[in-house]
Chains A and B, each alone.
Chain A
Amino acid sequence: MKRYGDFAAVDGISFEVAPGESFGLLGPNGAGKSTTMRMVGAVSTRTAGDLSVLGLDPDAFGPEIRSQLGVVPQSDNLDTELRVRENLLVYGRYFGLPGRLVAKRADELLAFAQLEEKGKAKVDSLSGGMKRRLTIARALINDPRVLLLDEPTTGLDPQARHILWDRLFRLKEQGTTLLLTTHYMDEAEQLCDRLVVVDKGTIMAEGTPAELIRRYSSREVLEVRFGSDRNSEVAERLVGIGDRMEVLPDRILVYSDDGEAELVRITDAGLHPITSLVRRSSLEDVFLRLTGRSLIE
């Protein structure tokens, strides 16, 4: 639990992550994800509650725990007074690693981040996505046992995202534990063995992506649009269609095991949506169900 003054940013978040597991925190802005990450990262001190990381108490063993963590913070805090490669070298030294080892890893990681040519560049001359990649490379300089990723791929282009996912997957295979927060449903579904949905500092649901979808959504979702001004009016006439319905400002979501069949029922009723789409249920739907809000506002 974490309190800022009277405000409880994190209140009642409880979970365990097994070694080698990949665990996600999913939630809207201000849910308390980053605060939780900073506590697990042995940086932010708890106001109350128990926490054990790598079998150690962060209050007493901060440096020990942090020596085995790789941290990708939500906002990059690269050292703009140093050059790209220097950022890796200096950071590696903070772990007490020998200079030669750090230099070798720095070169490997520059290659991993596809920044080989930028080694001598100033950090400020990098694009946002390049900075993100450098931050991730920096988090790996100590060959961490646990990687804490706070919205790792925000700001990356699709190709860079997929490369990163691939790399994270490989780290996971090598036994690295991953703890990540994200707004992206596809990311959570790709990377997380298990996840919790967090809102207002508490856990709303917990499980594997598939479990959550099964528990809180239907197999398929039918999305229909009737134009923004007509959606809610039409929705009243759709009562009884599908298992459940969500009316959003721009579209109506109909939950059902057979989306096509529902679409036929709608057209049979004499309603003709401007566009329609049947898709598989995703974590986005789980989230909508749990919080009544969409994840990306």
Chain B
Amino acid sequence: MSHGLSTEPRSDTARAIAGGRKPRRWGAWYVALHRFRVMKSYTGTVVVAGIGNPLIYLYALGVGLATIVDVDLGGVSYLVFVAPALLASAAITVASEEFTYPIMLGYKWNPTFTGMSASPLRPTQIVDGVMISVAVRMTVNLLLFFALILVFGAAPSPIAFLMIPAGLLGGLAFGAVLMGYTSTLEEDTGQLAMVMRFVVLPMTLFSGTFFPLSTFPIALQWIGWISPLWHSTELARVFSYGYAEPIWLTVVHVAYLVALVAIGWAWARRIAVRRLGR
């Protein structure tokens, strides 16, 4: 019922204890370095899309669509109103790229996570490393987006740069939960496409992105309340142009997003431990 390797000379055990020290402390970072190396192969796409998308959206919506929008936006132009929302949804887009196929790849299609788990890295560190690397990539995208918003003159507040952490929090909140979900998939028989169609798309449409949530029928507003995108958008608006909302609501945004990050992250870690330890 048992099997074992006999007691080794002390030196081997001592070597093992020493060998585990650095990976235990830095393992998640090593995983992130691996992800960066992989991302490097598509840096071009990240940068071009990171500049191109904001340009197109800010111009088409903030400048183009703005000419026909006639809603009370609390005294700001449509461009200023929509810019923080576009920034927040850019983070969601990054999350839906990085927490779907790369995760399936790591567990299944090109099982690099399996390879990592045979090294000193722990399953939880693999999850942490992915989170770190995506957070960095997302920050890069958000910085580019923010710079373009400034070019368009669409962020009047002096603390507008706080949109960046607001967008990051929203992207990671959605991303962490998405990562948990993707990790549970043994096979992708269309689930990921469904997530895009029935979660990401409606979320973008009904999160007060293009119009204030209050203009929607109350029956649809609940989508906004549970949507991480709505919370991060509202938060970004507070920072971007001093959008007036009760302070408790701002606290709720932050608390809700932090809670999602924590829950999704813990879920993904749990599954990694179970799945890689089979």
- By a beta-carbon cutoff of 8 Å, the part of chain A in contact with chain B is 1, 4, 11-19, 36, 39-41, 43-45, 48-56, 61-69, 71, 73, 77-82, 86, 90-91, 93-96, 142, 145-146, 177
Q: Which 3 A-B pairs have the closest CB atoms?
A: A96-B22, A67-B19, A64-B20
Q: Which residues of A contact B24 (CB under 8 A)?
A: 63
Q: What is the bound-complex CA distance between A77 and B116, given in angstroms? A: 9
Contacts of B10 in A (CB 8 A): 55
- Which residues on the A side are within 8 Å of B120 (C-beta)? 62-64, 66-67, 94-96
Whether A19 and B3, one on each chain, are in contact in the complex, defined by CB atoms closer than 8 angstroms, is no
Whether A146 and B5, one on each chain, are in contact in the complex, defined by CB atoms closer than 8 angstroms, is yes
B112:A79 contact, CB within 8 angstroms: yes
Can you show 5 pairs from A to B with CB atoms below 8 A apart? A1-B1, A56-B13, A77-B114, A81-B110, A95-B120
**CA of A36 to CA of B2 in the docked complex: distance in angstroms?**
11
| A contact residues around B33 at 8 Å (CB) | 90, 93
Chain B min CB distance to A140 (Å): 13
Q: State which of A19, A43, A44, A51 has its C-beta within 8 Å of the C-beta of B4.
A: A51
Q: Which of B8-49 contact A (CB under 8 A)?
A: 8-10, 12-13, 15-17, 19-24, 26-27, 30-31, 33-34, 37-38, 41
Distance from A1 Cβ to chain B, minimum over Cβ atoms (Å): 5
List residues 212-250 of chain B with CB under 8 A from any CB of chain A.
none
- Which A residues lie within 8 Å of B117 (CB)? 43
In angstroms, Cα B201 to Cα A193, docked, is: 62
A74 to chain B, nearest CB (A): 11
Once the chains bind, are A77 and B110 in contact (CB under 8 Å)?
yes
Task: Contacts A63-B23, A145-B12 given; indicate if A49 touches B1 (C-beta within 8 A).
Answer: yes
- For B121, the closest partner residue in chain A by CB is A94
* Given A19-B8, A93-B33, A96-B30, 15 more pairs with CB closer than 8 A: A14-B1, A43-B117, A44-B277, A50-B3, A52-B5, A53-B4, A54-B5, A55-B12, A63-B24, A64-B19, A66-B119, A79-B112, A81-B112, A94-B116, A146-B5
Find chain A residues with CB under 8 A from B21 CB. Answer: 96
Give the residue name and chain of the A residue nearest to B1 (CB): A49
Q: Given A43-B118, A52-B7, A96–B277 Cβ distance below 8 Å?
A: no
Whether B111 sits at the interface, judged by CB under 8 Å, is yes
> Once the chains bind, are B112 and A63 in contact (CB under 8 Å)?
no
B16 and A94 contact, CB distance less than 8 A: no
Given contacts A55-B12, A64-B20, A93-B33, contact A50 B121 (CB under 8 A): no
State in angstroms the CA–CA spacing of A14 and B20 once bound together. 26
**A17→B7 CA distance, assembly (Å):** 9
Quote the shortest CB–CB distance from A114 to chain B (angstroms). Answer: 22
Asked if A90 and B12 sit within 8 Å, CB to CB, the answer is: no
A121 to chain B, nearest CB (A): 14
- Of listed B33, B114, B120, residue having the most chain A CB within 10 A: B120
CB-based contact A14/B277 at 8 Å: no
- Residues of B near A44 (CB, < 8 A) are 277-278
B115 touches A (CB below 8 Å):
yes
B269 at the A/B interface (Cβ < 8 Å)? no
Cross-chain contact A96 with B23 (CB below 8 angstroms): yes
User: In the assembly, what is the distance between CA of A26 and CA of B109, in Å?
Assistant: 29
Q: Is B277 within 8 A of A43, CB to CB?
A: yes
Please tell me which one of the listed residues B2, B8, B27, B37 contacts residue A94 in the complex, with CB atoms under 8 A apart.
B27
- Whether B23 and A95, one on each chain, are in contact in the complex, defined by CB atoms closer than 8 angstroms, is yes
A234 to B24, CA, bound (A): 66
User: Does the CB pair A62–B7 fall under 8 Å?
Assistant: no
Most central of A52, A54, A82 by chain B CB within 10 Å:
A54
Q: Nearest residue in B to A57 (C-beta to C-beta)?
A: B4
Q: A81: nearest residue on chain B (CB-CB)?
A: B38
Given contacts A73-B118, A79-B115, contact A40 B5 (CB under 8 A): yes
Residues of B within 8 A of A53 (CB): 4-5
Taking a contact as CB atoms under 8 Å apart, the answer to whether B4 and A52 are in contact is yes
CA distance A12 to B37 in the complex (A): 43
Chain A residues within 8 Å of B119, by CB: 66, 91, 94-95, 142
CA–CA, A41 to B117, complex, Å?
10
In the assembled complex, how far is the CB of residue B5 from the closest CB belonging to chain A, in whole angstroms?
5
| Distance A87 CA – B164 CA, assembled complex (angstroms) | 34
Interface contact A14-B118, CB-CB below 8 Å: no
Q: A75 vs B9: C-alpha distance in the bound complex, in angstroms?
A: 32
